[in-house]
Structure 1
């Protein structure tokens, strides 16, 4: 292997194409950043997207055509691939994969730490172990590892110091809010893949048996659980808005735009009630523009005061360290 003498322009262009294919909402919000931050956001997205695709055997979130039966990798082998390529990238080695080279380049440009990367990889380990949350704390820990930890890396890309614990906590809170929105939107889609990220304890309280969350006659019982998750998302989003106020203006505008766009998805799922899963909830182009315009006004004013949630980055990371993916503290 050779040390990564990366062609930055090529990696940035590859990352730009990746975000346009993989996330229209995120791509729209990223346009509001200054050029340097925008390019670094793209590079980080490319690595996250590539890890997701390897873990799920997809191409930018879309199903791939597989070869003959028996040729698919086991989840633990996919996780090993992610870890190997990420380790090479962190060591500054050429990986042969532009998205992982993008991480190597980023770690030379901004103060990302190994611990930040490891917290993201822990989310893929949970999925590889087919882990399921039993309690609300479990669900929030999962949200931290698969999205909140990415928010921490994103904050570092925007110039937040690794020593600014409170701002990093609040950056994580926004990722947690986003993931809670994904969970409520994707209940049907996740169930089709044998997954459920609503806590087992919540389902038991609602008398919804394991594995039957999408049965039509349980929809009325499911709706209050969705409202409960959306209320949690709003709490985490309010905390994140306090942290966003500490960013440079264009960064603040972009982050608040993303918060509005993703928050609108959760709000629409909650509004639709038992019809939320008749069709996948999306935010259209006109709505995105309206929400970004609203964020511009919000960026010019101080946010409402909001405390950190009781379980934020440091608390959730500690829960993760206390329970390895192989021996989770709770599982469904």
Structure 2
């Protein structure tokens, strides 16, 4: 794969996720390359559905460009077809899909993980609504949990128990992202908070971004942050199963994202005055803590996953996750 594509992948993660970009530098070079390529593909697909190119042209399965205009559903269909072709080993003209093909086939990433990720974009395109926290977790699974599954595959983890922990980390990340971005999302007409919670708080869905609801909204954000905690705890156990450098990177990413949630909760009603994040000094401290966690994880077996956590769909021996039937188009 060309150095230009690697440079693009590096820029993509630095712009799209400064928090994960810092942790990604801790991977060994081969793992880091694959992680960046996968992240760039995820970002590319998101941008294509939104009608943004990020430097790459969007080709349909026949190699034509721009035929579907700005129809998100048509663009999503193109992405699904390109993904299937990538897994079939066909030549990929699109650089993002050439990178994805290399990573997916080399690391045996299950096709259903990639297609499940695209299904998350479909939920946005179709205007899915989220009645319960299980519905919100279903969305989190598609847009972030399966990314954790694909990342774990890159690190050589294919055991279902380890994949559960990787998915849990993605769920925790996305719950944190939702809490941080509630107001920004609302201004774009999107809401991932459970409708039940909004009713309990007395916040009409079309008024989420209004300043007069900030105190009530802060309580809901804190509730989301608290809901993420058992998933962060579960994910910490999975670090034991990763190679040391990967364990360091993932432990650090866990620390940084968790700290963002802590900051959102600490700010209360002022959480959305400016985007919550971590300082450079704090990141360095959290990376050091990640190193300690990775080293200490070398001893002892992984404890059982706590009962009551949301079960990922398609797990061997498990049925569909609860709430799967409730998230529905608006």
Could you say which residue in structure 2 is the equivalent of 1:255?
250
- Please give the residue correspondences for 1:79-228 in structure 2 after superposition, counting only pairs within 5 Å: 79-161=76-158, 164-228=159-223
Q: State whether structure 2 residue 44 is matched by structure 1 residue 44.
A: no
Q: Provide, for residues 15-52 of structure 1, a one-character-per-residue CA deviation record: whole Å limited to 9, x for no partner.
A: 23332333222221111111111111011111101011
Offset of residue 118 of structure 1: 1.6
Could you say which residue in structure 1 is the equivalent of 2:13?
19
The TM-score normalised by the length of structure 2 is 0.87
Which piece of structure 1 moves more, 178-187 or 289-298?
289-298
Q: Provide, for residues 226-272 of structure 1, a one-character-per-residue CA deviation record: whole Å limited to 9, x for no partner.
A: 11110111111100000112111111110011011111111100100
Q: Provide, for residues 201-247 of structure 1, a one-character-per-residue CA deviation record: whole Å limited to 9, x for no partner.
A: 11011111121112222122222211111011111110000011211
Decide which of 215, 225, 230 is 2:225's aligned counterpart.
Answer: 230
The TM-score normalised by the length of structure 1 is 0.86
Q: Provide, for residues 171-207 of structure 1, a one-character-per-residue CA deviation record: whole Å limited to 9, x for no partner.
A: 0000000000110111111011100100101101111
- Distance in 2 between the 1:197 and 1:329 partners? 10
Conservation of the 8 A alpha-carbon contact between 1:37 and 1:158: yes
Given the superposition, is the C-alpha separation of residues 258 and 38 from structure 1 closer, same or farther in structure 2, using an over 3 Å criterion?
same
- Distance in 2 between the 1:315 and 1:169 partners? 11
- Distance in 2 between the 1:314 and 1:194 partners? 27
Could you say which residue in structure 2 is the equivalent of 1:30?
24
- Distance in 2 between the 1:232 and 1:315 partners? 23
- Distance in 2 between the 1:106 and 1:41 partners? 8
- Distance in 1 between the 2:327 and 2:193 partners? 16
Q: Provide, for residues 123-172 of structure 1, a one-character-per-residue CA deviation record: whole Å limited to 9, x for no partner.
A: 011111111211110001100110001000000000002xx111101100
Conservation of the 8 A alpha-carbon contact between 1:86 and 1:100: yes
Conservation of the 8 A alpha-carbon contact between 2:162 and 2:238: yes
- Distance in 2 between the 1:111 and 1:321 partners? 29
Which piece of structure 1 moves more, 295-304 or 215-224?
295-304
Offset of residue 278 of structure 1: 0.7
Q: State whether structure 2 residue 250 is matched by structure 1 residue 243.
A: no
Offset of residue 121 of structure 1: 1.3
Offset of residue 308 of structure 1: 5.6
Conservation of the 8 A alpha-carbon contact between 2:128 and 2:327: no
- Distance in 2 between the 1:210 and 1:175 partners? 26
- SS at structure 2 position matched to 1:83: helix
Instruction: List alignment gaps of at least 5 residues for structure 1.
Output: 1-6, 61-70
